[in-house]
Amino acid sequence: MLQVVQAFDRAPITEIATDDAVALEAKLQAAERVFRNRDGWLKPHERMAILRRLAGLIAGKRDHLALQIAREGGKPLPDAIVEVTRAIDGVHNAADELRNFAGREIPMGLSPAAADRWAFTTKEPIGIVAAISAFNHPLNLIVHQVAPAIATGCPVIIKPAGTTPLSCLDFVALVHEAGLPEAWCQSFVPETTELAEKLATDPRIAFLSFIGSAKVGWYLHSKLAHGARSALEHGGVAPAIVDKSANLEAIIEPIVKGGYYHAGQVCVSTQRIYVHDSIVNDFTERLVARVKTLRTGDSVLKDTEVGPLITPKEADRVASWIDEAVKGGAKLLTGGRRLSETTLEPTVLVDPSEEARISREEIFGPAVAIYRYRDLDDAIARANSLRVAFQASIFAQDIDIALRAANRLDASAVMINDPTTFRTDWMPFAGRRESGYATGGIPFTMRDMTQEKMILMRRS
């Protein structure tokens, strides 16, 4: 049995049964059986109808799902409500994408050998999808992994994070209620991590969707069966550059949201802030003043802005990184104090050493670091200096500065006057280098979960 607890106070919520090796084999066999039966594949209009019904069912449980996200995942309730709304829209997005999900004509007749022929491609589901998810968006990440599989006609086995399985289990139940036969979408809560690896690397798996730590993701990627595809979504140490032309009145709030949303437990959370020397003192004063007003506490309360870390162990780790930075010469301007077993005061550090972990690694906690710069290209070089690269921001009113930074920052997406955390569910979302592999976002995942087949006809 797996005990699920509230992230904030560790109070028990419930216990759920776990799956053993026998259960995993049964799930894989069921998925393989329905996929091999081509006559049983659901038509696109049937899959669209299921997704539409699913979106309605999620909407009907909006309050329940939002409270559950706040309890098991520690996301503040207002943000959890937004997550459910995004999940509903994401399901609709997958259904909408099917309207334009098509193959293409392959030109023939371009040589004598290709004369009197007609060729076109169709899209087919790639096969069984193994999806391994993360805790920080326990419903919406599941939607990003499962809705594309339903839309494209791939059987999917979804493993939620061990700390936040309830949102996934509720979602899968709603999928079945919407009319999708159970074998096409199955949850998997393994009793050991070895079984999760066994799922991902089973030769029957055609596609692995993994959201989580780079160490685990790249390891699983190396063990995939030959021919299997994967999409990996890891973390970054997201940089934001603040130019001297930036409107300080307008940018503090988005930067605070970028740094402290979900207590910094977001793969594109703003962590390194490079501020022009001429405005660094004014910027820092304004940022610290706002951070000091952030309401930190129980995630189920409507006025909470910063909730807990997912476990006490994670709170210990983040606190140790802050202490390390201060001992290494960083100035602690606010925060750093432990408020409870799982909560930390939102923290602002100034000028930590380049060797400090907060300067090099993803802290995944409520802390940002400010660094001063004089030359824009130097700030860009420092922002680009790590082996991780995901999303980045430039805050500037000078369009030439903004575009120069956007063109030179090593990131899959650069936000101009918006935080590094900005995302819509239909846009491409991808880590570079060690931060990930392939492209997320519902339309892009649907493409990865299909393969093209060319059909050629010879005219008599």
**pLDDT (0 to 100) of residue 436:** 87
Please write down the HEC assignment for all residues of the chain. Answer: CEEEECCCCCCEEEEECCECHHHHHHHHHHHHHHHHCHHHCCCHHHHHHHHHHHHHHHHHCHHHHHHHHHHHHCCCHHHHHHHHHHHHHHHHHHHHHHHHCCCCEECCCCCHHHCCEEEEEEEEECCEEEEECCCCCCCHHHHHHHHHHHHHCCCEEEECCCCCCHHHHHHHHHHHHCCCCHHHEEECCECCHHHHHHHHHCCCEEEEEEECCHHHHHHHHHCCCCCCEEEEECCCCEEEEECCCCCHHHHHHHHHHHHHHHHHCCCCCEEEEEEECCCHHHHHHHHHHHHHCCCECCCCCCCCCECCCCCHHHHHHHHHHHHHHHHCCCEEEECCCECCCCCECCEEEECCCCCCHHHHCCCCCCEEEEEEECCHHHHHHHHCCCCEECEEEEECCCHHHHHHHHHHCCCCEEEECCCCCCCCCCCCECCEECCEECCECHHHHHHHCEEEEEEEEECC
Angle at 256 between CA 250 and CA 261, to 5 degrees: 135
- Structure-token pair, residue 226: 């030959």
Query: Which is nearest to 58 in space by CA: 174, 224, 229, 186?
Result: 174
> What whole-number distance in Å separates Cα of residue 161 and Cα of residue 187?
11
CA distance 42 to 6: 39
Catalytic residues: 233, 267
Q: What does the pLDDT profile of the chain (460 residues) look like in tens digits? A: 899 999 999 999 999 999 999 999 999 999 999 999 999 999 999 999 999 999 999 999 999 999 999 999 999 999 999 999 999 999 999 999 999 999 999 999 999 999 999 999 999 999 999 999 999 999 999 999 999 999 999 999 999 999 999 999 999 999 999 999 999 999 999 989 999 999 999 999 999 999 999 999 999 999 999 999 999 999 899 999 999 999 999 999 999 999 999 999 999 999 999 999 999 999 999 999 999 999 999 999 999 999 999 999 999 999 999 999 999 999 999 998 999 999 999 999 999 999 999 999 999 999 999 999 999 999 999 999 999 988 999 999 999 999 999 999 999 999 999 999 999 888 888 888 888 898 899 999 999 999 999 999 998 7
CA 447 to chain centroid, in Å, comes to 18
The pair phi, psi for residue 130, each rounded to 5°, is: -105, 125
45-65: buried (b, 16+ CB within 10 Å) or exposed (e) per residue? eebbebbebbbebbeeeeeeb
* Orientation angle between helical segments 140-152 and 166-177, nearest 10 degrees: 30
| C-alpha radius of gyration, the chain, whole number | 23
pTM, full prediction: 0.93
pLDDT score of 427: 86
The Cβ of residue 75 has, within 10 Å, a number of other Cβ atoms equal to: 32
